[in-house]
Amino acid sequence: DTGVSQDPRHKITKRGQNVTFRCDPISEHNRLYWYRQTLGQGPEFLTYFQNEAQLEKSRLLSDRFSAERPKGSFSTLEIQRTEQGDSAMYLCASSLFPENYGYTFGSGTRLTVV
């Protein structure tokens, strides 16, 4: 296991469609995080899991967004009824709590809503 994997790398969708992204963290990492990054900005925290439990959600995570980590391994982030404002890079990161303080990021999924 060489790092955090995200799939797909790019997604183009029409406004109003649903999309789902997948993140596979480093296998021994118990924490998994989702961030969103728009052009010219730093990543913004969306939510995080410890094992299968979703422990925190940002106010940025509207009711159209849902994230799961059903078995405490991979995670999915679904966006329903996509809007043009959802266009961004969605980054996943993982860490081993409490030993590690920094996060390992995946390469991200770039979403374009047309």
Partner 1 sequence: AQSVAQPEDQVNVAEGNPLTVKCTYSVSGNPYLFWYVQYPNRGLQFLLKYITGDNLVKGSYGFEAEFNKSQTSFHLKKPSALVSDSALYFCAVRERNNNDMRFGAGTRLTVKP
What does the binding site for partner 1 look like in residue numbers (CB under 8 A)?
4, 6, 31, 33, 40-45, 48, 55-56, 58, 91, 93, 101-108, 110
Question: Min. distance of Cβ 28 from partner 1 in angstroms?
Answer: 17
Q: How would you label 26-41 residue by residue, b for 16+ Cβ within 10 Å and e otherwise? A: beebbbbbbbbeeeee
> 57 by DSSP, 3-state: which?
strand
- The structure tokens listed for 56 are 């925190």
Question: Min. distance of Cβ 50 from partner 1 in angstroms?
Answer: 9
> 86 by DSSP, 3-state: which?
helix
Nearer to partner 1, 80 or 100 (CB): 100
Nearer to partner 1, 11 or 31 (CB): 31
> 85 by DSSP, 3-state: which?
helix
Nearer to partner 1, 72 or 80 (CB): 72
Nearer to partner 1, 58 or 80 (CB): 58
ω before 25 within 30° of 0 (cis)?
no
Question: Min. distance of Cβ 58 from partner 1 in angstroms?
Answer: 7
